[in-house]
Amino acid sequence: MYIRSLKIGGLRCFKSTEIHLRYPGEDGLPHLHAPNVNLLLGDNGAGKSTVLHAAALAALQPIMSASAGYVPYRMIRQGSKAAVVEAAVDLHEQDRGIPPGARPQKRRFAVSIQRMGDAEFVKPSPDSDRFADMFDDRSPAFLVLGYGATRRVEDTWTASGHQQLTRRMLRYQRVAGLFEPNVPLTPLHVWLPQLEVRNRGRHVQVVHILNALLPEEAEFRAERVRRGDGEYLFHFRGAGVRFSALSDGYRGFVSWVADLLYHVCMGCPSGMKLAGNRGIVLVDEIDLHLHPAWQRTVISKLAQTLPNLQFVFSTHSPIVAGSVERENVFVMDLDRAGAARIRQFDERLYGLDAQQVLLSSYFGLNTTRAPGFIDEMQQLSRDLAPGRSDLALEILRRFSGQRKSS
């Protein structure tokens, strides 16, 4: 399943808007370096996370109810009677009911959130009973994964963490981290050892994919500290480091990718390679904890290694933004009435450096210099007068990065 477009009405900061997303196999596009990637940009509070929420709500609308584990809270825009999300989707053979080799079937999914007093309730479309496979945990249909900005990393898999997830329906479990900040990710050492025993081929694929996504100086050899419940070792420039000793950036990235691969493995049709699995992956702040060197490559590696997944990312990183074309980028901002809107710009983006991206229409900064520095330069400029060559030289020193003269 892929989402071709989303119509959003009355949902949090959005009064009424529409977004047309990129997806694998999309017709009529120029060559893109990451044709399966959508990147959401915008100021805090402009609606990036809400778009991710809307995508999950619409794609999984039959199960997004209190019985599945999701409870909406303050989702309806102030002044609106209800929130409505409608998705135009493509369904594939993996989503059941589609003949092998047939073209994707186009469907429309709709979901609304309605208010009663101070409570809000999810109301799926009347024909949601057609999607019985959403309620079947063994079905590979309707693969949708979601990760919020507060991705919770577990060094050990506690019984309480496991119970917290298993109380929810599987397809809500897969997106629960978008809506709840304390949902734990599934650690690698909980499921990968069993996969090595049950399905050696897929175990090899997981190790290959994980290595393809890691920086060059890191390597995963599927070695554990000890047998049984031992955590895995990662190798950095030849030295073995256990998972719990990794930096926050590595632990965070490895954890959500491991969770993604777990669900891709569990939801992959029999006989299909993991890289062939179709579905939707929603990630808030893809650059979270990543060094700038890693930010340069994170999107391209994900897009190329898992080409049949449709990715929707948000970011505040100009380095990440400069790694995709303008067709991949959607900018959220507020109109004069305070309602969020979604726009795409014609301005070139791919290949620009961080400074150029920040000064472009995508981020809209007038300068990247510290405000205090600007104030100092303005004061020096005001003091500049004929004969004050010392001040002119001082201004040049400051702009060139030299230390302030004594």
pLDDT digits (tens, 9 = 90+) for 80-91: 989 999 999 999
29 three-class SS = coil
Q: Roughly what angle, to the nearest 10 degrees, separates helices 298-305 and 200-213? A: 150
Q: What's the confidence (pLDDT) of residue 160?
A: 45
- Which own/partner contact pairs does 68-72 have at CB distance under 8 Å and 24+ positions apart? 68/168, 68/169, 68/171, 68/172, 69/167, 69/168, 69/169, 69/172, 69/173, 69/176, 70/122, 70/172, 70/176, 70/179, 72/113, 72/120, 72/121, 72/122
All CATH 3.40.50.300 domain ranges of the chain, comma separated, are: 2-358
Residue 269 has pLDDT above 90, yes or no: no
User: What span, in angstroms and rounded, lies between the C-alpha atoms of 309 and 275?
Assistant: 8
CATH class, range 2-358 = alpha beta
**pTM summary value:** 0.90
More confident residue, 380 or 68: 68
Q: What's the confidence (pLDDT) of residue 228?
A: 60
Euclidean distance between the first and the last CA atom of the chain, given in angstroms as a whole number: 65
User: What span, in angstroms and rounded, lies between the C-alpha atoms of 219 and 12?
Assistant: 42
User: What span, in angstroms and rounded, lies between the C-alpha atoms of 267 and 89?
Assistant: 19
- Reported as a single tens digit per residue, the pLDDT across 322-380 is 999 999 999 999 998 889 999 999 999 999 999 999 999 999 888 777 777 777 767 76
Contact 251, 280 (CB under 8 A): no
Q: What's the confidence (pLDDT) of residue 371?
A: 77
User: What span, in angstroms and rounded, lies between the C-alpha atoms of 181 and 393?
Assistant: 52
Stretch 191-214: mean pLDDT: 95
Q: How many CB atoms lie within 10 A of CB 147?
A: 27
Residue 127 has pLDDT above 90, yes or no: no
Q: What's the confidence (pLDDT) of residue 101?
A: 76
% of the chain surpassing 90 pLDDT: 60
Amino acid identity for residue 145 in this structure:
L
User: What span, in angstroms and rounded, lies between the C-alpha atoms of 7 and 161?
Assistant: 35
Q: What's the confidence (pLDDT) of residue 46?
A: 92
Region for residue 162 given its phi and psi (left: phi exceeds 0; alpha: psi -120 to 50; beta: otherwise): alpha
- Reported as a single tens digit per residue, the pLDDT across 289-311 is 999 999 999 999 999 999 999 99
Alpha helical stretches, state H, 91-223: 159-166, 170-173, 176-179, 188-198, 200-213
How would residue 75 be classed by pLDDT, with cut points 50, 70 and 90? very high
Residue 223 has pLDDT above 50, yes or no: yes
Residue 135 has pLDDT above 90, yes or no: no
More confident residue, 225 or 112: 112
122 DSSP β-pair partners: 113
HEC profile of 145-178: EEECCCCECCCCCCHHHHHHHHCCCHHHHCCHHH
- Reported as a single tens digit per residue, the pLDDT across 141-172 is 999 999 999 988 876 655 444 555 556 888 99
Mean pLDDT of the chain: 88
Residue 405 has pLDDT above 70, yes or no: no
- Reported as a single tens digit per residue, the pLDDT across 23-55 is 999 988 888 999 999 999 999 999 999 999 999
Can you read off the two tokens belonging to residue 33? 């370096």
Altogether, the residues listed in the chain come to a count of 406
